[in-house]
A and B are shown apart, each in its own frame.
Chain A
């Protein structure tokens, strides 16, 4: 397999991240229904990009580009990739992006019902997860890993990382539901807001533990230490962004229209959440790739 596949997978993951930013801008600008059409906007492929149509139609154009890139990636993998499960994942990614496009259309046609909009935002993160995973699986580090490391003791890095991934996914779902339950001119529902804050605490504890344990045990193993460090730093940034986003968002209902800093902070919070997820996925996949559990040591470990 060539470097080209990995580079292309990285390109698709990067484009997907940009798509998440574009989608976050649609929600923050309250632009989701700037046109009642789908897939065309006001009956046109290239409408005049004024007002909030810039964000809504711009999002559709970026999404179309990501869709085309995903088709190309699936075909590229089919042709150049030897591992059948990676080829299969390429097709799964294509299915994901198609489903995501249909959900996007459905939420417009149904006037943004909470369940469909939140599902659209959640699937966006799952699709991003898939593209990041494809980038990891096609990397040289994955194909030619360093010698397997034996994990001793009771603090399983692999398990902690996996739990952190699940916790982040749940938190992303919570964030999506919270975000789509009130537009910029409405106050956020207190119950959901509290749940999202509780989720942030949970993620901080779980991911923080995973990062600390990884760095404590494998600080010299750059293959694990780098994504762990990245996840830790992004987590801190995300928590700080969460606080300032909350303050800006609580002030926005009395603004004449969605304004900065609310828009930029909220978009940054969504984007950073995706990056935290990506870093944790990379860490988790790598941990499962190189770490081997020494069950004997676990059983015989002194009390």
Chain B
């Protein structure tokens, strides 16, 4: 028979095992899009649609882009000798690569955006691997819209979608190979895309059930066109920060009119986006509330 002390130790080990199992079974939290819901009636234009446009600004000193070491693949170094990170692309105080979308809203006739279904575009969105980085860096598509993935580099990539609400998808694509096609069946803002072959390569794909989204350009501007008259919650999402940073605004779109939605990032968002010691220190001092 085992001694009391042996039983105590074994009990402790079993307890830790069970704790481990419980922790690992928790799984990642799934994010749901508020626009998801039962299928509704097909959206039909009333001819009174307007536009939501605006600028994404960045206040304060923008975090500096870091040079990426591409020496693991000479083909990358040759094509992109000065590849930089694209987490915060700020020019003259304007922020690029921000995904702006209608999260929710009520149309002028008191119906909700989520009450409608919208036709999936027949043209594929293009995501190109060029110079060992993705072009575009942030892409918006509709649910079930084809994404054509091209490889313009003289090296092999693998394209790896790592969503939470959609199935994981990973495919190798040698140089010169035909474009790959992928589509996502569920709305998700945003799906990280990466290349495990070249781990600095990152892209984000916003997937929505409606077409009311846009990505800010280098001048920070964006325009969401053909938005029916109504009152909407508009969200600007940027990858900077520990798990991205969001700004939200209520916007009223008049019939055949234009609404402005200017968003500002920076300050707190900038601090969260820095690779500073802040997240590390909080985890050291308070591991109980460490970030996931």
Contacts and interface: CB of A to CB of B under 8 A. Distances in A.
B85 A181 contact: no
A42 B175 CA distance: 11
Interface stretch (A68-76, A81-89, A246-254, A283-291): A246-254
Contacts of B171: 36
Interface in A27-63: 29-37, 42, 47-48, 50-54, 56
A230 interface: no
Interface residues of A, number: 61
A274 interface: no
A33 B158 contact: yes
Interface string B109-120: 000000000000
A54 B170 contact: no
A279 interface: no
Interface stretch (A92-100, A135-143, A193-201): A193-201
Contacts of B279: 187, 250, 253-254
B18 to A, nearest CB: 10
B181 interface: no
Interface stretch (B95-103, B141-149, B194-202, B256-264): B194-202
Contacts of A115: 24
A163 B172 contact: no
A34 B289 contact: no
Contacts of A193: 287, 290
B170 A51 contact: no
B283 A250 contact: yes
B242 A187 contact: yes
A148 B171 CA distance: 60
A261 to B, nearest CB: 14
Interface stretch (B4-12, B33-41, B50-58, B215-223): B4-12
Instruction: Identify the interface centre among A115, A187, A198: most chain B CB within 10 Å of its CB.
Output: A187
B178 interface: no
Contacts of A150: none
Interface stretch (B66-74, B225-233, B247-255): B66-74
A225 interface: no
A206 B9 contact: yes
Instruction: Identify the interface centre among A171, A198, A256: most chain B CB within 10 Å of its CB.
Output: A256
Given A35-B172, A250-B280, A190 B287 contact: yes
Contacts, number: 154
A170 B72 contact: no
Interface in A143-183: 154, 156, 159, 163, 166-167, 170-171, 173-174, 177, 181-182
Nearest to A181: B24
B196 A170 contact: no
A222 interface: no
A194 B288 contact: yes
Contact of B290 (A56, A190, A247): A190
Interface residues of B, number: 54
Interface string B268-292: 0000011101011001100111111
Nearest to B76: A51
B20 interface: yes
Contacts of A194: 287-288
B239 to A, nearest CB: 11
Nearest to B275: A254
B19 interface: yes
Nearest to A247: B280
Instruction: Identify the interface centre among B74, B277, B289, B290: most chain A CB within 10 Å of its CB.
Output: B290
B155 A50 contact: yes
Nearest to A175: B20
B16 A191 contact: no
B283 A31 contact: no
A102 B146 CA distance: 34
Contacts of A198: 16, 19
A78 interface: no
A37 B172 contact: yes
A156 B5 CA distance: 10
B197 A51 contact: yes
A189 interface: yes
A140 to B, nearest CB: 32
A303 to B, nearest CB: 15
Contacts of B108: none
Interface in B146-203: 155-156, 158, 160, 168-172, 174, 196-200
A202 interface: yes
24 contacts: A34-B196, A36-B172, A37-B172, A51-B76, A51-B155, A52-B199, A159-B2, A159-B6, A163-B10, A166-B10, A173-B20, A186-B292, A187-B283, A187-B291, A190-B289, A191-B23, A195-B16, A250-B280, A251-B280, A254-B274, A254-B275, A255-B275, A257-B199, A258-B199
Interface of A: 29-37, 42, 47-48, 50-54, 56, 111, 114-115, 118, 154, 156, 159, 163, 166-167, 170-171, 173-174, 177, 181-182, 184, 186-195, 197-199, 202, 206, 247, 250-251, 253-259
Closest 4 CB pairs of A and B: A254-B275, A190-B290, A257-B200, A187-B291
Given A187-B290, A197-B287, A251-B277, 9 more contacts: A35-B172, A42-B156, A50-B155, A52-B198, A167-B13, A190-B288, A202-B12, A254-B274, A254-B279
